[in-house]
Chain A
Amino acid sequence: MSTSTTAVLDTPRGVEEHAATRLKYRSQAVAKPYFIAAIGLFFGQIVFGLIMGLQYVIGDFLFPEIPFNVARMVHTNLLIVWLLFGFMGAGYYLIPEESERELHSPKLAIITFWVFLVAGALTIVGYLSVPYATLAKLTHNEILPTMGREFLEQPTITKVGIVLVALSFLYNLSMTVLSGRKTSVSLVMMLGLWGLAIFFLFSFYNPTNLVLDKYFWWYVVHLWVEGVWELIMGAMLAFVLIKVTGVDREVVEKWLYVIIAMTLISGIIGTGHHYYWIGTPGYWQWWGSIFSAIEPIPFFMMTLFSFNMVNRRRREHPNKAAVLWALGTGVMAFLGAGVWGFLHTLAPVNYLTHGTQLTAAHGHMAFYGAYAMVVITMISYTMPKLRGREANSRGAQKLEMVSFWLMTLAMVAITLFLTAAGYVQVSLQRMGTTPMPFMVAQDHAATYYWLREASGVVFFIGLALYIISFFVKGKTDEAAH
C-alpha cells in the first residue's frame, strides 16, 4: 500500500483497531464516513418531513420562518443527497472487493467526501437562511438558470459541484475496476453509476418552453429511479446476497441480468407515463401505459430473487439484521414501486389521480422501499465490518431489527393514509358535476393527514432506535459462523 493510503486510513476518522482483519482491502474503509453522513442526512430529512406533515394540518406552523416550499426542498434534497452518499459508500466498499484490489485512490475518495458534504451543507443552509430568490441572486442563477424545478432546486453552482464529485468518484472506481477483476456485479454497478451522472446532465437544460423543460426534466427523474438507479440497486442487493447467503455467484449474476434487462426494456419507454398531460402528443398514452404496466415485473423479480437466494443459502451468516433488510427491500420495493406505481400508471386512471396525494403515497413507499432500504441493507452488512467485526452483538441486532419493523410498518401506514387522502381528493375535487375547490377538498382529508403525521412520528422513533443501535455494545455472537 502506498504511504498516502496509509496516511488517510490512519486518521482518527478511519478504521478502528481491528478493522483490517475484517476488510478484504483496507481502502474499503473510506466507505465509512459516507455511510455515517448518509444516516445523519436521513435524520434531517425526516425532521423536515414531520414539519411539513404538521403544516398540512396546522397551515401556519413555523410560518414565515420555514414556509412549506422551503421545508419540502430540504426534505427531498436531503433524501437525494443521502441516497447518493449511500450509493457512493456502497461503490467504494463493493468495487475494491469485487475487483480484488485496493481502491485506486483512497485519498481522493476522502477529499471527495468532504467536498460533497460541505457543498451539500452549504446548499441546505442557503435554503434555510435566505429567501430562495436571494439565493438565486447570490449564486448567479441568471448565468445559467437551472433552479426552481422540483428536486432540481439546487443552485447551478451546486449542480456543477455534484457533477465534479460524481466525476471524481467515477474516475476512482473506474480505474479500480479497469485494473482489477471484472465481475458482472461491478460492471452493473458501474453502468448504473455512470448512467446516474450522465442523466443528471439534463438538469442543466432548462428551456423557456415549458413543455420541453418538463419533457427533459423526466430524463433526470424517471430515468434515474426507474432506470439506472435500479441497476445500482440490483448490484448492491446482489453483492450483499452473495455475501450473506454464499449462493454461487453465477446464479446470482444470472438473476441480476434478467432483472435489469426487464428494468430497461420496460422502464425506458415507460417514461411515457409522465407524458400524458404535459403538452406532449397523445400517443404517449399508449406507449406509457403499456410499457409502464410491465415495470412492476423487475421489481417483483427482486422480491423473488432475495427470497430465493436466502432460501438456498449455503451458510448462516451471523448478521441477521442485514438479511432482514435485504428481504425487506425485495418486498417493499415491489409494493411501493410495483403495486403503488401500477395503481395510477394507466392513462385513464392517471387522468384523475395525476398530481394528487396518491402520487405522494407512491413516491414515499417507492423511495423508501427501493432506495432507502437498499442503502440501509448495504450499511447493515458493511458497517460491522468497517468497525472491525463480522456482525454486531445480539442486542444491537435486535434493536436494529425493531427499528426495521417500526420504520417499515410506519411507511406502510403513511402510504395507506396518503392513499386514502388521495381517494378523498380525487372523488371530491376531480369527479362529479359539482367538484370542490382544492382547499375545500383538502379540509375533508384532514383526518388522514393527522394519521399520516402520527405514523411519521413512529417512523421517527424507528429511525432514532436505528441510530441508537450503532451504540449498543455487547459480545458478537459468531457461533453460527
Chain B
Amino acid sequence: MSASFTKSTARNIFYGGAVFFFLLFLALTFDTTQALPKRDNRVNLTEQVARGKNIWETRNCIGCHTLLGEGAYFAPELGNVYQRRGPEFIKAWIKGQPTGAPGRRQMPQFHLTDGELDDLVAFLKYSSEINTNNWPPNIEG
C-alpha cells in the first residue's frame, strides 16, 4: 500500500465506516420491525402456538430439520410441512417414530401427549403462513 495512505487514514475509515454502517443497520432493523406485522402472521400467535414453539425447541427439532431453510440438513424442511402433509399425517408420523427401517435415517420417539401434538401442529401451521417471499421453490421444500 502506498506511503501517502497512512495508518491513521485507515483507522479513520474503519471507525467512520463501522459507525455509519452500524447505524444504517439499526435503521433498517427498525424499519423491518415496523413492516413485520403485515408479514409475520402475528395475528395467529396464540397461546397454543407459543406452547408448540416451546415443544419444538425443547426437543431440538432444529438439530435434524430446517425451518424456513435454517437448521440442519439431515431431514426435510418443516416450514411448509403443514401444506405438504396436513395435520393428521404429522401427528401420526411423530407418534410412529422411530420407523426402525434398517439403514434408514431415524427420528427419535418424543412421547408427546395428544395435547402437545396439537400444540406442535399449531406452531407448524403458524410458521407455514409467514410471508417468506415465496420460498421454498416448491412443496418438497
Contacts and interface: CB of A to CB of B under 8 A. Distances in A.
Interface in A132-178: 132-133, 136-137, 141-142, 145, 147-150, 153
A64 B98 contact: yes
B83 interface: no
Given A68-B64, A68-B105, A210-B40, A271 B10 contact: no
Is the interface on chain B under 10, 10 to 19, 20 to 34, or 35 or more residues? Answer: 35 or more
A60 B36 contact: no
B96 interface: no
A268 B140 contact: no
Given A279-B36, A360-B73, A73 B63 contact: yes
A355 B140 CA distance: 13
A333 to B, nearest CB: 19
Contacts, number: 230
B60 interface: yes
Contacts of B103: 58-60
Given A147-B60, A435-B140, 12 more contacts: A68-B63, A69-B62, A132-B58, A133-B110, A148-B56, A255-B1, A264-B18, A269-B21, A271-B25, A354-B69, A354-B136, A430-B136
Contacts of A275: 32
A59 B104 contact: yes
Interface string B97-141: 010111111111110000000000000001100111101111111
B57 A355 contact: no
Interface of B: 1, 5-7, 10-11, 13-14, 17-18, 21-22, 24-25, 28-29, 31-33, 35-36, 39-42, 45, 49-50, 53-54, 56-64, 66-77, 98, 100-110, 126-127, 130-133, 135-141
Interface residues of A, number: 81
B133 A132 contact: no
Contact of A60 (B11, B73, B106, B110): B106
A211 B36 contact: yes
B77 A355 contact: yes
A30 to B, nearest CB: 30
16 contacts: A67-B106, A136-B58, A148-B59, A149-B57, A153-B60, A153-B63, A206-B57, A211-B39, A251-B1, A257-B13, A261-B17, A277-B132, A277-B133, A354-B136, A355-B77, A430-B138
Contact of B72 (A150, A250, A276, A436): A150
A148 B58 contact: yes
Contacts of B107: 67
B101 to A, nearest CB: 8
A212 B76 contact: no
A429 B80 CA distance: 14
B56 A254 contact: no
A277 B77 CA distance: 13
Given A133-B59, A258-B13, A264-B18, A210 B70 contact: no
B75 A258 contact: no
Contacts of A148: 56-62
Interface string A333-374: 000000000000000000110111101100000000000000
B10 A63 contact: no
B32 to A, nearest CB: 6
A314 to B, nearest CB: 18
Nearest to B131: A279
Interface stretch (A18-26, A114-122, A280-288, A453-461): A280-288
A214 interface: yes
Interface in A63-81: 63-64, 67-70, 72-73
A464 B115 CA distance: 49
B62 A149 contact: yes
A184 interface: yes
A59 B106 contact: yes
Contact of A352 (B33, B137, B141): B137
A81 B72 CA distance: 19
Contact of B6 (A52, A215, A254, A438): A254
Contact of A355 (B54, B70, B131): B70
A72 B135 contact: no
A265 interface: yes
B140 A67 contact: no
B40 A211 contact: yes
A277 B68 contact: yes
A360 to B, nearest CB: 6
Contacts of B56: 148
A278 B18 contact: no
A352 B137 CA distance: 7
B17 A265 contact: yes
A206 B62 CA distance: 15
A268 B61 CA distance: 29
B71 to A, nearest CB: 6
Given A257-B13, A280-B36, A431-B137, A132 B102 contact: no
